[in-house]
Chain A
Amino acid sequence: MNDIVFTGIGVISSLGIGQEVFLANLRKAKSGIKRITSFDTSSLGSNIAGWIEDFDPRQFMSPGIYRRMGRISRMAVAASIEAVNDSDLILDTLDRERIAVIMGTAYGSSSHVEEFYLSLLENGPRGAQPFLFPETVPNAPASHIAMFHGITGPNTTFCQNEISAENAILYARGLLLQNIVDVVLVGGADELSPVLFMCYDALGALNRIKVEADQPVKPEPGRGLVLGEGAGILIMERRDFAVKRGARIYGTLISGILTGGVTSTGHYEIEGDQMGRAMSLAMEQAGVDPDTIEQIHVSANFSGELDRMEYDRLERAFGVNTASLRVIPLKYLTGDFGGVGTTRAAAILLSLHYQLPLPTVGAEMLKARPQHSLEWEICPGRKLQFALMTTSTFGGGSTGLVFARN
């Protein structure tokens, strides 16, 4: 089988704009979660999120191009520009029909949905703003990426809450393995909008912390999720295609499993069987023993429901040494959003390629007992060869992906 490899990375994150800053801040376990100042949270139960305050689309494209795009599309296109440049792909030399754009997002441009609907409520049918409407579709970011780069191959968007970007990675893998395309720009993106934040707050899902300016931000594990935003785009290719053009290879996707658990709307899987199955099958399919996995990237997001279940399943998948097990809950630094999967994968690939270990926390943190406080630590020494990325979402879906060093 021809390996599926990654040859380009672009990141727009609350940990930094661009992969270099992102990795540097990640290695310091710097948190991107901070007090929200971009909109009014005074009436809400929380005022923190992993939001991005320094993203300027002008650094990537001209105002004429991004003028009609929503924030999520601007971030997605910006990340795609970095990824394409990073990969050294010369698009003009390629068959554009054999390049795909596959994205994952939970909600697309929720700010456009809100703005358009409010224009209708406030001004009536004749006052609804037509130019806002096309940006309300979740496939807008993928379409803008295709338009920007002139890519006419397969173009699909997945919306499966917190496994949206993972869905995109697995679909992209399928396109490459079937030889339908040679290159995929695969990504995930979501924006933090006032309406989205308000809805999560209304549902009681958020970590109920309100901080004053200059106060440290310390979300409490197990007390509710913390939202985030950003975009991560990866360039995926078959190995033979990448090698032939002399591409730098960051790493390989050696397995990918997609499962779905039973639950009620708005909740994570009831017992975690499918989460566990995704973890175990991913390692089995990759042909790696659990004790050879140096990095375990978990999808823990400060919500008690997910984090505790994830701990429980790690315990089963990794056996008796869980007390010494260390994990990487990246969402504890970036916040959670549907498209964060490719940002998490970017962290893995950068770490594997440069052999730079990432900060970890003890798996016990996921049990979210009140006395825990987060202590990040980089554990040096081991050669980094394999990483497991496990993700579960409310609604029941789960994925397990195993990446390997090239």
Chain B
Amino acid sequence: MNAGPSTRVAVTGLGIISAIGESVPEFKEGLFNGKCGIGPISLFDTKGFMTQSAAQVKNRNLKALSGSLGIRRISRCDLLGLIAAREALSDSGLDFDNCDRNDIGVVLGGGAGGMLSWEKYRRALWSKKARPRPSLLLSSASCTLTDLIASRYRLTGSRATIVTACSSSATSIGFASDLIRSGAHEIVITGGSESLSELTFAGFNALRVVDPEYCRPFDKNRRGLSLGEGAAILVLEDYEKAKKKGATIYAEVLGYATNSDAFHMTSPDPEAMGMSRVMVKALERARVAANQVDYINAHGTATRANDQLETKAIKKVFGEKNAGDLAISSTKSMVGHCLGAGGAIEAVATILALREQVAPPTIHLDEPDPDCDLDYVPLQARPRKIRIALSNSFAFGGNNTSLVFGRGQV
């Protein structure tokens, strides 16, 4: 195949399930209306933790949905992922009977995967009250969803799962775009899924980085993050081929970058070098000047450290004046921090922002922190011209990723 740096990458299908919407149209409505998906968790007992809240997917019919997928005994994470994949693939209009399935790759970002199922198994063993089903262990690997989607739709191209905590699915979108640019594939299915689990919930509580009520990114009174769950799947295609066949082009993946703080497993570099350099590198690879960017979907976890340092990083990259002209929002204020799926869910939010030319809000931002003195689109969505957008993901271990998106066909 003859692709190269000039090969463009289009987003031609979207699918999502989250605490603020269980399809793209629902998610879009929730996103631009500032819907809060954070509330009490019903999945497991949260007594004794700092918080009892998270952005849990509320559809009480998830079990019935698994029936409609024709799969029994599936982990919650994989179920969310398959629901999103079904929507994305349908949305893309791909006709698999007329595709070379060897030319379709599946590259996802993973997180804890089937951890919730593993916990059921482990707790049963520990309590010795019941003999647990070994099949609960089958979906333990983070790549189970990648394999499930590929097998379900018989997609036999490249197969990979990236697990870098909070930047997993953002990096997977970047790698998927690489596979198209390099000519390895014409089409790649990408994105990620994450379900709430006791382990991750307990972990963030133990680190004392959670807000007891709901997260307030960039707010003076912020106390930490709110976890979330969900899945987002994107279909990426060679731009010119997608255009030629009349596919809907939601957005263009212009480029991305990843790097490492090389500083600490959980605390970001206090000089924000990693955060700022990854945005610089992403813009360089996308061949985009900083002053062409109009919107940033921030990592915006609402921890004291992240929000202040992300502000510092954005100013380093764009300069104080130009940074002040940007619209920046943390959609984690609505959907929570979806860890391995976060990058993909926020990519969908960014793509919808580009498509609708509306910056999503940062809700709960009642009193901006003076140290976070950029325009974080407080409380209400705002129409504005968005030519190019960035989406940031800064993960445990200092694994940073920044994606650059451009407008699709109007």
- Seen from chain A, the residues whose Cβ lies within 8 Å of a Cβ on chain B are 68, 96-97, 101, 106-108, 113-114, 116-118, 120-121, 124-126, 128-130, 133-140, 142-144, 146-147, 149-161, 163, 167, 171, 174, 177-178, 180, 195, 199, 202-204, 258-266, 273-274, 277, 395-397
Contacts and interface: CB of A to CB of B under 8 A. Distances in A.
Contacts of A138: 142, 163
Given A171-B175, A180-B285, A397-B159, A152 B262 contact: yes
B158 A150 contact: no
B154 A154 contact: no
B262 A154 contact: no
A158 B155 contact: no
Contacts, number: 217
Given A116-B203, A167-B160, A139 B165 contact: yes
14 contacts: A107-B140, A113-B199, A116-B203, A124-B48, A130-B206, A147-B263, A147-B398, A150-B262, A151-B262, A155-B258, A156-B164, A260-B105, A262-B150, A277-B156
B137 A139 contact: no
Interface string B258-294: 1111111110000001100100010001000000000
B260 A151 contact: yes
A273 B398 CA distance: 39
B159 A203 contact: no
Contacts of B182: 174, 177
Given A160-B143, A204-B134, 19 more contacts: A116-B199, A116-B202, A117-B199, A130-B206, A133-B204, A142-B164, A143-B396, A144-B265, A147-B263, A151-B262, A156-B175, A180-B285, A199-B121, A258-B157, A258-B158, A262-B151, A273-B156, A395-B141, A395-B147
A159 B145 CA distance: 12
Interface in B198-217: 198-199, 202-208
B260 A152 contact: yes
B122 to A, nearest CB: 6
B151 A264 contact: yes
Contact of B144 (A68, A158, A259, A265): A265
B148 interface: yes
Contact of A259 (B157, B171, B207, B263): B157
Given A118-B126, A125-B48, A395-B147, A158 B260 contact: no
B159 A160 contact: yes
Contacts of A159: 110, 141-143, 161-163
Contacts of B150: 260, 262, 396
A329 B205 CA distance: 45
A396 B159 CA distance: 8
A160 B146 contact: yes
A197 to B, nearest CB: 12
A341 B127 CA distance: 38
Nearest to A138: B163
A147 B49 contact: no
B252 interface: no
B157 A260 contact: yes
Interface in B373-410: 395-399
B397 A128 contact: no
A263 B369 CA distance: 52
B398 A125 contact: no
B178 interface: yes
A107 B397 CA distance: 16
A121 B45 CA distance: 12
Interface string B176-188: 0010001000000
B112 to A, nearest CB: 8
Which residue among A134, A138, A161 has the maximum number of chain B CB atoms within 10 Å of its CB?
A138
Contacts of A113: 199
Interface string B27-59: 000000000000000000001110000000000
Chain B interface residue number, banded: 35 or more
**Nearest 4 Cβ contacts at the A-B interface:** A143-B397, A260-B159, A133-B203, A155-B260
A139 B399 contact: yes
A258 B399 contact: no
A143 B399 CA distance: 7
B141 A137 contact: no
A345 B351 CA distance: 40
A135 B199 CA distance: 12
A128 B202 contact: yes
B90 interface: no
B80 interface: no
Contacts of A121: 122-123, 126
A371 B264 CA distance: 54
A155 B400 CA distance: 8
Contacts of B274: 152
Contacts of A136: 199, 203
Nearest to A134: B265
Which residue among B142, B143, B198, B398 has the maximum number of chain A CB atoms within 10 Å of its CB?
B143
B88 interface: no
Given A134-B396, A160-B143, A260-B147, A153 B260 contact: yes
Contact of A130 (B208, B263, B273): B208
Nearest to B269: A152
A185 to B, nearest CB: 11
B102 interface: yes
A137 B396 contact: yes
Nearest to A395: B147
A154 to B, nearest CB: 5
A158 B138 contact: no
B19 interface: no
Contact of A125 (B49, B122, B123, B397): B49
B91 interface: no
B59 to A, nearest CB: 23
Contacts of B199: 113, 116-117, 120, 136
B66 interface: no
A133 B157 contact: no
B158 A154 contact: no
B119 interface: yes
Contact of B137 (A125, A150, A154, A203): A203
Interface in B98-121: 102, 105-106, 110, 118-119, 121
Contacts of B49: 125
A130 B161 CA distance: 27
B157 to A, nearest CB: 7
Contacts of B395: 139
B242 interface: no
A397 B260 contact: no
Nearest to A130: B206
A171 to B, nearest CB: 7
A160 B107 CA distance: 10
B20 interface: no
Contacts of B138: 203, 265-266
A274 B103 CA distance: 12
B189 to A, nearest CB: 11
Contacts of B144: 265, 395
